[in-house]
Amino acid sequence: DAKTTQPNSMESNEEEPVHLPCNHSTISGTDYIHWYRQLPSQGPEYVIHGLTSNVNNRMASLAIAEDRKSSTLILHRATLRDAAVYYCILREFLNAGKSTFGDGTTLTVKP
Amino acid sequence: EPEVTQTPSHQVTQMGQEVILRCVPISNHLYFYWYRQILGQKVEFLVSFYNNEISEKSEIFDDQFSVERPDGSNFTLKIRSTKLEDSAMYFCASSDLGGSTDTQYFGPGTRLTVL
């Protein structure tokens, strides 16, 4: 499985933007980049995914580097409810069924 | 919004006992998964299931584990003879396409405590 690397933890102030980085230097051309988050005591929750182009949805934006070796999840205005562990996951074309979770980034949002 | 449900929310069992964890996936989904998360550790893939067959399983999913879709709505995980190390949160997930672009929807989990 291609590996991802994320910072263990990040802090943000409420209502400020947050940029959560992920490195995936061994990504293959057909791997999709997915982001999930896990709020305390809950199951993982889908956030966003992309292949090459930047993506936006109601929850967040995903910025993908041109060489695809890194990506950044952007929360435009962090709220207290966004405090969670954020996982960057590569979904491989041939093993598309499973998600391989790493340690993720624990985001703390300060009021 | 449709959601994956799991029962029970918490199961306590004695070592060596059999447990069945139940999940109701989103109704039009075709791909089903079980993951587990030992307290303080990563979410780990256990098994994926499609068309009444296991598609993929991890090393964790040994002969003590089995999955079944007994009817059109439920998806179960059975652990035949529980061990202390099986204590974990077990998450069920479902998806409609099963591909690399697919969104997996997770349930709230069942906390299994083996004494």
Q: What residues of chain B score a pLDDT lower than 70?
A: none
Q: What b/e sequence results for B70-92 when a residue is b if at least 16 CB atoms lie within 10 Å of its CB, and e otherwise? A: eeeeebebebeebeeebbbbbbb
If you measure CA to CA, which chain A residue comes closest to B3? A45
Residue A1 confidence (pLDDT):
60
The per-residue pLDDT for A95 is 63
pLDDT at position B75: 96
The per-residue pLDDT of chain A, averaged, comes to: 92
| B24 residue type, one letter | V
Sign of the Cα torsion B46, B50, B54, B56 reads negative
- pLDDT band with cut points at 50, 70 and 90 for residue A28: confident
- Please report which confidence band the pLDDT of residue A79 belongs to, taking 50, 70 and 90 as the band edges: very high
Instruction: Read off the tokens for B96.
Output: 């409609």
Q: Is the pLDDT of residue A60 over 90?
A: yes
pLDDT band with cut points at 50, 70 and 90 for residue A84:
very high
Whether residues B105 and A102 touch (CB distance < 8 A) is answered with no
Q: For residues A35-48, give the mean pLDDT.
A: 95
Residue type, B66: S
8-state DSSP, A5: B
For chain A, percent of residues with pLDDT exceeding 90: 81
Distance CA A45, CA A39 (A): 8
Contact A101 B42 (CB under 8 A): yes
Q: Do A43 and B93 touch (CB under 8 A)?
A: yes
| pLDDT score at B76 | 97
Q: Which of B33, B44, B101 sits opposite A49 (nearest CB)?
A: B101
**Cβ neighbourhood burial of B22 (10 Å; 0-12, 13-18, 19+):** middle
Report the pLDDT value the prediction gives residue A108, as an integer from 0 to 100.
97
Longest dimension (CA), chain B: 40
A51 CB neighbours in chain B (<8 A) are 101
Interface A-B, measured as beta-carbon pairs within 8 A, has a size of 62
Please report, as a single letter, which amino acid is at residue A100: T
For residue A96, what pLDDT band results from cuts at 50, 70 and 90? low
